[in-house]
């Protein structure tokens, strides 16, 4: 592990000296000579519920995270919520100044649906909500940054949840009308549109498991219904964009999927590892990015067979019609990818007749105990393998890394996070230069510490720290902010502390 330093590290010069010191005493990784292409874009980002606060201001309605944190406080590890969070609803100009200071090219944020349509139903949009995002977008542009807008980052209006949320097929129309309002009001200035952030977490963790709102816990049923309607919603909005709004600002649109890399637990487990990748990523990627569209064959086979054996008259995985397959296929300009860590997988046939996503998948995952990093192991080689797998499986799409980062308890001298960023950015450079993956941009998650869902404020991803006990929520740069700033300025990774 790292030697500990009790020095104040508050400027670039001191930072470089410390890294050089690491180099001299060999606690370092040597930088390669690779550099990022001149048109490569760097960014950072946040999401509405995690940073905005102002949960009931200016006409905003209640969303599923307001509801679950207010009604079931024990749902969150430290019984907190996003009522105030980073107070970015009021402090967005300060946030953007911090992003600007890093030198990033783009800023990624999401729109809170319940600010635009307080109960979700698409009539009479809340003009104060639209005005807030108009101001935010204008402020991003005024800092010479490019806005990347995520339409949905998990904060569904609560009233729509009461109608079944993403399991109700009507959601396709409701989401499309919400998105149309955003396209009407913002498409003159937005360059990058992301329809959804991490559908796997919204559907599998929120409807299958109980890890995220609405915490439905109907694994093997509701997760698939959610995925089905979400994919149709994505495609409907992509077509709307492509047919009517694209040219307003020569913009592009994609979807952001999350993926851990799945390595086989032993060479014989490659098939199990690939099946796991298909269940985790292929579920959402195959219908949109593959040549044939539709769900992965292996999912249709495994879920179909098991459903029959369980006495269902048809598969628990809904079927697309051939028209729907065509409607969804190819609805992307880029693949947004969020990546954090790696797992191992092996076959694990279910021993009973239980209905669940995991027993459909028939594998289990674990971590290699020799990987460093703790709760989220640091395995940069997994990042590179994932990028190569995306390239080979989906015909080399344009990729933006929309999130990558490391969680900890929040220390300012965050050497482990610096090491994480150094090693992952180095893996990215190798993937670009040696594997020719088509990655065009990278966004560090996150600009600042924020409400980390079920972990509340106990788990921090920020490269800026936020003091949540101070009513002013002051932000302070961590060491990783300085490191990232140098990477962007030099367009190269440079030396960074080693974990071994
Ligand atoms: C980087 O380039 C220098 C000078 O050409 C060379 O000496 C060094 O070995 C290179 N380093 C790596 C990691 O390739
Ligand atoms: C908003 O919520 C706060 C609690 O977070 C409460 O004190 C306040 O009265 C509410 N404001 C309105 C306008 O409902
Ligand atoms: C949003 O767009 C609609 C339709 O173009 C327009 O009527 C409305 O004034 C816009 N709202 C704001 C706050 O600009
Ligand atoms: C539109 O953007 C693409 C890159 O996404 C660029 O190649 C093209 O030149 C742009 N077209 C116009 C008319 O600006
Ligand atoms: C676990 O990590 C060690 C050290 O990197 C490596 O030698 C071993 O092959 C890994 N095991 C698996 C199953 O990947
Ligand atoms: C699914 O059922 C078909 C038809 O009975 C069979 O050929 C196939 O091997 C089964 N697949 C699995 C994974 O059990
Ligand atoms: C997007 O629009 C272009 C131009 O009209 C069209 O050629 C293309 O097929 C459309 N893309 C999709 C996925 O429908
Ligand atoms: C956070 O703010 C509180 C209240 O102003 C203050 O007492 C505390 O020292 C601050 N914490 C840090 C780490 O600066």
State if residue 144 touches ligand 4 by the CB under 6 angstroms criterion: no
State if residue 323 touches ligand 8 by the CB under 6 angstroms criterion: no
Dig out the tokens for 279 from the structure.
């269940």
Cα of 251 from ligand 4 centre, angstroms: 8
Residue that the structure tokens 């298909």 belong to: 278
State if residue 331 touches ligand 7 by the CB under 6 angstroms criterion: yes
Alpha helical stretches, state H, 354-437: 357-361, 380-393, 415-434
Would you name the residues annotated as active-site residues?
198, 403
CA 16 to chain centre: 31
Question: What is the pTM for the complete model shown?
Answer: 0.94
Asked whether the bond before 214 is cis by omega within 30 degrees of 0, the reply is: yes
Given this model, what pLDDT does residue 499 score? Answer: 84
Given this model, what pLDDT does residue 24 score? Answer: 45
pLDDT, one tens digit for every residue, the chain (500 residues): 333 333 333 445 455 555 545 544 445 666 678 999 999 999 999 999 999 999 999 999 999 999 999 999 999 999 999 999 999 999 999 999 999 999 999 999 999 999 999 999 999 999 999 999 999 999 999 999 999 999 999 999 999 999 999 999 999 999 999 999 999 999 999 999 999 999 999 999 999 999 999 999 999 999 999 999 999 999 999 999 999 999 999 999 999 999 999 999 999 999 999 999 999 999 999 999 999 999 999 999 999 999 999 999 999 999 999 999 999 999 999 999 999 999 999 999 999 999 999 999 999 999 999 999 999 999 999 999 999 999 999 999 999 999 999 999 999 999 999 999 999 999 999 999 999 999 999 999 999 999 999 999 999 999 999 999 999 999 999 999 999 999 999 999 988 998 86
State if residue 500 touches ligand 5 by the CB under 6 angstroms criterion: no
Report CA-CA distances (Å) from 357 to 148, 198, 348, 402, 420.
Answer: 32, 17, 13, 26, 31
Burial of 364 (0-12, 13-18, 19+ CB in 10 A): middle
Cα of 470 from ligand 8 centre, angstroms: 6
β-pairing, 261-264 vs 334-338, is unpaired
State if residue 379 touches ligand 5 by the CB under 6 angstroms criterion: no
Residues 105 and 146: beta-carbon distance below 8 Å: yes
> Which of ligand 4's atoms lies nearest the C-alpha of 252?
5
Alpha-carbon distance of 468 to 452, in angstroms, equals 13
State if residue 83 touches ligand 2 by the CB under 6 angstroms criterion: yes
- We find that the CATH architecture of domain 42-490 is Alpha-Beta Barrel (3.20)
> Which of ligand 2's atoms lies nearest the C-alpha of 84?
5
Residue that the structure tokens 């940054």 belong to: 145
Name the closest-CA residue to atom 1, ligand 4.
Answer: 250
With H, G, I as helix, E, B as strand and everything else as coil, classify residue 146.
strand
Given this model, what pLDDT does residue 8 score? Answer: 36
Cα–Cα–Cα angle for 181, 70, 212, rounded to 5 degrees: 70
> Which of ligand 6's atoms lies nearest the C-alpha of 304?
1
**Quick one: DSSP state of residue 320?**
P
Cα of 287 from ligand 2 centre, angstroms: 43
Report CA-CA distances (Å) from 256 to 27, 53, 338, 425.
Answer: 35, 24, 7, 19
Residues 421 and 494: beta-carbon distance below 8 Å: no
> Which of ligand 4's atoms lies nearest the C-alpha of 250?
1
**Cβ-count burial 294-304 (b if 16+ within 10 Å, e if not):** bbbebbeebbb
β-pairing, 342-347 vs 334-338, is unpaired
Given this model, what pLDDT does residue 32 score? Answer: 77
Cα of 246 from ligand 3 centre, angstroms: 18
Dig out the tokens for 417 from the structure.
């996070």
**Quick one: DSSP state of residue 460?**
B
β-pairing, 41-45 vs 106-110, is parallel
- The count of residues in the chain is 500
State if residue 242 touches ligand 7 by the CB under 6 angstroms criterion: yes
Cα of 250 from ligand 4 centre, angstroms: 6
State if residue 302 touches ligand 6 by the CB under 6 angstroms criterion: yes
Pocket of ligand 3 (CB under 6 A): 127, 130-131, 134, 184-185
């Amino acid at each position: 592990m790292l030697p500990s330093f009790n020095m104040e590290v508050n400027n670039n010069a001191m930072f470089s000296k410390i890294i050089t010191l690491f180099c001299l005493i060999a606690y370092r990784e040597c930088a390669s000579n690779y550099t990022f292409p001149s048109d490569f874009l760097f960014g950072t980002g946040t999401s509405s519920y995690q940073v905005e606060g102002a949960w009931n201001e200016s006409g905003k309605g209640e969303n599923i995270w307001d509801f679950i944190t207010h009604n079931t406080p024990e749902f969150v590890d430290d019984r907190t919520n996003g009522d105030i969070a980073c107070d970015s609803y009021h402090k967005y100009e300060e946030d953007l100044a911090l992003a600007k200071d890093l030198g990033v090219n783009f800023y990624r944020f999401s729109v809170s649906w319940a600010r635009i349509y307080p109960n979700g139903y698409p009539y009479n949009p809340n003009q104060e909500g639209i005005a807030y995002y108009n101001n935010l977008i204008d402020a991003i542009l005024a800092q010479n940054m490019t806005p990347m807008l995520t339409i949905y980052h998990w904060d569904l209006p609560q009233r729509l949840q009461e109608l079944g949320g993403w399991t109700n097929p009507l959601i396709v129309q409701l989401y499309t009308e919400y998105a149309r309002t955003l396209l009407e009001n913002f498409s003159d200035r937005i360059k990058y549109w992301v329809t959804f952030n991490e559908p796997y977490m919204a559907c599998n963790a929120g409807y299958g498991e109980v890890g995220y709102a609405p915490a439905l816990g109907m694994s093997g049923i509701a997760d698939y219904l959610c995925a089905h309607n979400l994919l149709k919603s994505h495609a409907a909005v992509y077509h709307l964009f492509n047919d009517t709004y694209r040219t307003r600002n020569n913009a592009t649109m994609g979807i952001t999927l999350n993926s851990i890399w799945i390595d086989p637990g032993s060479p014989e487990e490659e098939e199990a590892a690939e099946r796991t990748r298909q269940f985790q990523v292929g579920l959402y990627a195959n219908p949109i990015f593959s040549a044939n569209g539709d769900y992965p064959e292996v999912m249709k086979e495994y879920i179909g067979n098991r459903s029959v054996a369980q006495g269902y008259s048809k598969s628990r995985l809904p079927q697309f019609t051939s028209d729907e397959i065509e409607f969804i296929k190819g609805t992307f300009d880029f693949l947004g990818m969020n990546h954090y860590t790696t797992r191992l997988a092996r076959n694990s046939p279910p021993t009973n007749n239980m209905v669940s996503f995991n027993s459909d998948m028939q594998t289990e995952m674990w971590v290699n105990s020799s990987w460093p990093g703790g709760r989220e192991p640091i395995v940069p080689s997994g990042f590179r393998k994932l990028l190569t797998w995306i390239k080979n499986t989906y015909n080399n799409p344009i990729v933006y890394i929309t999130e990558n980062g490391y969680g900890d308890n929040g220390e300012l001298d965050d050497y482990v996070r610096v090491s994480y960023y150094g090693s992952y950015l180095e893996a990215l450079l190798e993937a670009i230069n040696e594997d020719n993956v088509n990655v065009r941009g990278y966004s560090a998650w996150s600009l600042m510490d924020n409400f980390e869902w079920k972990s509340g404020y106990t788990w921090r991803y920020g490269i800026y720290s936020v003091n949540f006990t101070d009513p002013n929520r002051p932000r302070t740069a961590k060491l990783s902010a300085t490191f990232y700033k140098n990477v962007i300025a030099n367009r190269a990774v440079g030396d960074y502390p080693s974990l071994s």
